[in-house]
A and B are shown apart, each in its own frame.
Chain A
Amino acid sequence: MAALSPLSVALLVAVTVGLAAAILAWRERPEPGATWLAVLLAGQVWWATFLVFELEATTLPAKALWYDVQWVGVVAIPVGWLFFALAYTGYDRYVTPFSVALVSVVPAATVAVAAAGDPGNLLAVDRVVRETAVGTFLGVVPGPLYYVIAGYTYLLGAVGSVPLIQLIRDDARPFRGQSAALLVGTAAPWAGNLAHLSGAVPIPGLDPTPLAFAVSGVAYLLALSRFRLLTLAPAPRRRARQLVFEQLHDPVFVVGTEGLLVDLNECAAETFGIDRRDAIGEPAATVVPKYDAIRELDGADADKPRPIPIVGRDGQRPYEATVRDVIDDHDRTTARVITFHDVGVYLGQQQRLNVLNRVFRHDVRTETNLIQGYAEQLRSDPTDERALSVIEESAERMLELSERTRTAGELFDPTEESETAPLTDAVDEAVAEARAVAPDARIEVGQVAPVPVPDVLAVVLGNLCTNAVGHNDAATPWMRIDAAVADGWVEVTVADDGPGIDPAEYDVLDRGTETPLRHGSGIGLWIVKWGVDHLGGRISFDEREPTGTVVTVCVPVDRSETPGAGPDGEPPDPHLDDPAPSDESGSLGPPPNAGR
């Protein structure tokens, strides 16, 4: 074996490290980018290998043959680099058979020209043997196709570098190290080729690009072993972040600076019944629920979000909306992200805690004081029938309070599956409870459709009916219950001829919180409100002439449906005292009524 030229020895180093890195990359398949990195490194090894053969060949035809064979490796490198960078950084949707075929057209044409013997001198206008101190190689005067493929290589290299450069600025140190090593591995051959094209190489005609592959190989080996390239690839992050956006249980909208909808997640589409393909590009005001109200939040009140009632798939739910600006690298706001968080459960829990606190702090204490006082009186006068009667009544109220408290606890137990029952059964059950409270009451039942409703509605109606006849000072209490069904909503009306409900009770329900000075009496109305809220419905109170109250409850027929999906899904306006104001109307249409 003849002694190798210094250039060949240097190239063998590039072959060694390049092939080792290629094997390790190939071993990591199917990690993102592994196959394409192996292709890139194999291209480098191929180029260096056949350059050695060219250097060691002794005749011009032999050198020309090995020179032409090198083109396979030369053109494989930029293709491998581009698709490696895309797959490795998570842009794998651009790595398709079609895109690979498209990108490979120019490289394949180049190889075909080389294989055909370079007809028309497209690749090399002239070829001469150059004898130098470092080796004897083929000096080539480039043809037009040479410059085309060179430019194409630089183009693919630049495109592939973009996502990797982004990683250098990443917070995660391993990815910074990986991308830095990869860019060094890529920049070294580029620098060599630029030096060749610009004539900066001291040995005329020598293209040092393959020599720089030794640097590339070491950089890639370092990235593979030290920085765990491929075993710790950033590719999943892009998908994961997209997945979080898509799978978030809160509706999210992205609105551009021009007020047009840019994106929305799956939850937003489902909750508010929006067709994503149709919605994107539309004015946000026509798609995003309560958009005008939310825009106002994007100011001084942004830190104090207040619940906004919006009708959606689960009926009317209170949402807290947060608005966050999307800022680019130049501190420019490019979009705003609006997130809706359903706070119904949280508000219900807060209210129940608040009310139960009041029950123990006020109601139970009052009754206990009463019992204690009259018990003292009984001690001094055991024949005091009135004292005994008061104690019995007080104990009965406490028992009733206890029962209702238990009902409230059981009603909203999150571990319990919600069941459905026909509306007729719910009405019958409520009427039966009312008759038990006031056997002499006149109770009228209107037409009731047998639609399925959640069984929570039976508890709501039971409380309303017992209140209607129980807190009624008429000689013969009267009440009437009617139920109408329209557009997937059930509207139940309970009317009585009692003294009416104290406005203070409405006020407390409206505010949603009680204070030591402003609170309701008992928890019956609270149970009604919580039940209606739980069902995604609403409740309203009207005075009745000449006396009495009309309570209207509006709830979805079936919670699995999306009654608020569009104008057709709007609950009927139950002619109440507070018609739907426009500022409470989301893009899905106005709510049934404001209620109290």
Chain B
Amino acid sequence: MANEPTKPSAPDGTTAQYRSQSTPPDSGAVRRVAAFAAGAPFTALVAAVEVAVVTVALGVPRSAAPVAVGLIAFAVYAADHVADAEGDVSSTPSRARIALRYGDQLMTAAAVSYGLAVALAVGAGPAALALALVPGAVWVGYATGRPAAAGDLAAPLGTVSVPRLKDVFLLNSAAVAIAWAVAVVAAPLAFTGVTLEAVGAPTVALLFAYVAVRSFVDVEVPNVRDVAADAARGTATLPVVYGTAGTRRILLGVDAVAAGLLGAVAAIDAVPRPVLAALAAGLAVSVAVTALADRLGGAALGVAPDCSYLVAGAVLLAIGG
């Protein structure tokens, strides 16, 4: 208020507003940058590395696919963080604060990022464009409430309740995992114009299954951190339903399935050996993170599962040349 008297806040009668600033640099700014980087940019990096690894695994030429998928991941997650900022205050306070304070800037960045991704896809051809437009179409659908409307139409006069996808136990994580797998495996093919037959259907199928299974684990592990908030909201997740110990056992079982898929890939010699080694290293990191799920801090648990792909990428760079 303009007319509100300024109260002295120091013994000398001056106020903070008029005192010379000699304090050290605000460490909060560093924390904010770190919190921002650990959000959508980190997810974008992971997505790009994931696509790069799969590109090598499929043996297709290099393309703009990793960049495009990374940009789309940034756009989707940045927009999601802005949209859910108020609800995320309790679970991810730093990220939520940034989303609330810089919501417009983040949305502008997300829009430009998605526009750039689509432009890259346009340059790559119709198939890449179609793939890049899927997240946008889904976003427009949710923004306009179309899925809910479709659910209302499907429910015969309210006798059957059609629940939202994100509220359905396991289906939520499974849907996210499959979406990731589609984007990560299809993008290298779509951006290079290489057909399924040229790569080999079994190879593509095994890689798709592997990425989907691994993504499922990556989605469910952070739910250990959010168990209290999810239980309070009534959202059924693995940790809410089976507890932390039960979740760990289940996810280790899913990791075992991933190991089996990797074994199958190795058995048919579908991918080069360095890629196999890189994926195995990533899987090992995933198993370790799953085993330590209840001991890792909240912030670490939020990024640790995705770090398995960064490890895989680093290993691939190191041994794959």
Contact = CB atoms under 8 A, between A and B. Distances in A.
B192 interface: yes
Interface residues of B, number: 27
Interface string A24-37: 10110100000000
B149 interface: no
A26 B115 CA distance: 14
A18 interface: yes
B73 interface: no
B123 A12 contact: yes
B122 A24 contact: no
Given A1-B123, A26-B140, A17 B129 contact: no
Contact of A225 (B108, B110, B114, B123): B108
Contact of B116 (A4, A16, A26, A225): A16
B107 interface: yes
Interface in A289-346: none
A56 interface: yes
Contact of B111 (A20, A49, A56): A20
B107 A49 contact: no
B42 interface: no
Interface of B: 61, 63-64, 104, 107-108, 110-112, 114-116, 118-120, 122-126, 129, 136, 140, 143, 191-193
A52 interface: yes
Contacts of B64: 1
B70 to A, nearest CB: 15
Contacts of B123: 1, 4, 8-9, 12, 52
Centre residue among A20, A21, A45, A56 by max chain B CB count within 10 A: A20
Given A12-B122, A24-B111, A26-B140, 16 more contacts: A1-B191, A1-B192, A8-B123, A12-B123, A16-B115, A16-B118, A19-B115, A20-B114, A23-B114, A23-B136, A27-B111, A29-B143, A49-B122, A52-B123, A53-B125, A53-B126
A18 B115 contact: yes
Nearest to B61: A1
Contacts of A9: 123
A49 B133 CA distance: 12
A53 B122 CA distance: 8
A432 interface: no
A266 B161 CA distance: 48
Nearest to A49: B122
A20 B112 contact: yes
Contacts of B111: 19-21, 23-24, 27
B122 A20 contact: no
A12 B107 CA distance: 21
Contacts of B119: 12-13, 15-16, 19
Interface of A: 1, 4, 8-9, 12-13, 15-21, 23-24, 26-27, 29, 45, 49, 52-53, 56, 225
Contact of B124 (A1, A20, A27, A225): A1
B191 A15 contact: no
Nearest to B191: A1
Contacts of B63: 1
Contacts of A21: 111
A4 B61 CA distance: 17
29 contacts: A1-B123, A1-B124, A1-B191, A1-B192, A4-B123, A9-B123, A12-B119, A12-B122, A15-B118, A15-B119, A16-B116, A19-B114, A19-B115, A19-B118, A20-B108, A20-B111, A20-B114, A20-B115, A23-B110, A23-B114, A24-B107, A27-B107, A27-B111, A27-B143, A29-B143, A49-B129, A52-B122, A225-B104, A225-B108
Contacts of B191: 1
A444 to B, nearest CB: 67
Nearest to B128: A1
Contacts of A53: 122, 125-126
B59 to A, nearest CB: 16
Centre residue among B108, B123, B140 by max chain A CB count within 10 A: B123
Centre residue among B118, B124, B126, B192 by max chain A CB count within 10 A: B118
Contacts of A4: 123
A26 B143 CA distance: 9
A125 B191 CA distance: 35
Contacts of A24: 107-108, 111
